Homo-oligomer: A and B are copies of this chain.
């Protein structure tokens, strides 16, 4: 499996080999979450829940179906989505009076209800989230976790009494992304999208983009500042302390199973998937090396080590299948288990266990006594190394250019005067898409790469998925 030479073949192959998703379901782009893939996804879900809960969001679950008339209240929103939605037109043998659509995102499901929930300033901020599947009729080529038609999705929706409070929410979301990036060894850049590429109905959109091994970026999620664009048509108002009724200010923050796709794409190698320990469904696999005459002792030791690790909170698996160790190694390397423990007769004699790191294949022996804490330390080390390596790789591939001739693979940064015309010129000449102005970047002074006008605005552009 040649990741560098042919990423588009490599990616589905490693997913299939690791059995993370089954794409043989009879609807294209709607894949089955296998037990192993779902375990990884649920670890991400758990992290997301912890983050949202800790920042005062309440989890809810809104209905999947949205009546057509509710959906059409915000004009830009429907325009942005009408090519994408699945329509329910019949129930049983009855034709429905009002067509229902499968949520592509939940603004239009939630906002009629928010109008009932929000009454006064005391109800604000309203901060909720849900973890549900959403549906988008993709016409481009589908790809497991990256571009599918049923998408495992996280969405938070908030209502505030002012633009400033909504902005504070966006700052909080950016902090959540920072922690998420660390947890999953996922480097990213945040860019405020240009006007012509913002979310349907948003006042502005911040995209969260990660860089794939092909030099293209993949959008992992986005944050939207809506101002009152939705609260006005949906009539979500609150009574302020003076008794005046005002529309609320809203934000949303959405991410999806692409997080898992990005982890696979960034960290995998020619042996298969490589999970950073924090997201690994199995962090340590124990493979007994059985030889005649030592089977019982080795098996006992494996069981002891298994229980010791399990009790100390490690996600550990003992592979007792009737297969040769080499075959097991191959399997677990493909499945991306970050650390392998081998226990054989020699290990018993020397009072050690043999450990092999999946990321660099370094083999080591550690003392049997105190093994669990050493293993946990090694997992931390692997986690740190993967993070550093991937962050460096991303940094190296963000390149400041002064002329459109310098465009190469990766994220190109350049000066931009802010005019839409020059923006389109960049896209047309280079075949890149503008990601937007990097959020929180250092001060910049330069010239618009198209018209040469002095500017303080840098802009990023890249080939995108």
Q: Interface on A for B, CB 8 Å cutoff?
A: 22, 24-27, 30-35, 38-39, 42, 58-65, 67, 70, 82-94, 100, 102, 109, 112-113, 116-117, 128, 133, 135, 137, 139, 150, 152
Contacts and interface: CB of A to CB of B under 8 A. Distances in A.
B38 A113 contact: no
Nearest to A41: B61
A117 B33 CA distance: 13
12 contacts: A26-B112, A30-B65, A32-B60, A33-B61, A35-B59, A65-B150, A82-B92, A84-B92, A88-B102, A89-B90, A92-B137, A94-B137
Q: State the number of copies, please.
A: 2
Contacts of A22: 113, 116-117
A7 to B, nearest CB: 26
A90 B42 CA distance: 31
Nearest to A57: B35
B63 A31 contact: yes
Given A26-B112, A32-B61, 10 more contacts: A30-B64, A30-B65, A31-B63, A42-B59, A64-B135, A82-B92, A84-B92, A85-B91, A88-B89, A88-B102
Nearest to A67: B26
Contacts of A34: 60
Given A26-B112, A64-B133, A87 B86 contact: no
Contact of A63 (B30, B62, B90): B30
Contacts of A117: 22
B93 A83 contact: yes
A116 B24 contact: yes
B60 A150 contact: no
Of A22, A42, A61, A137, which is in contact with the most chain B CB atoms at under 10 Å from its CB?
A61
A335 to B, nearest CB: 15
Contacts of A100: 27, 86
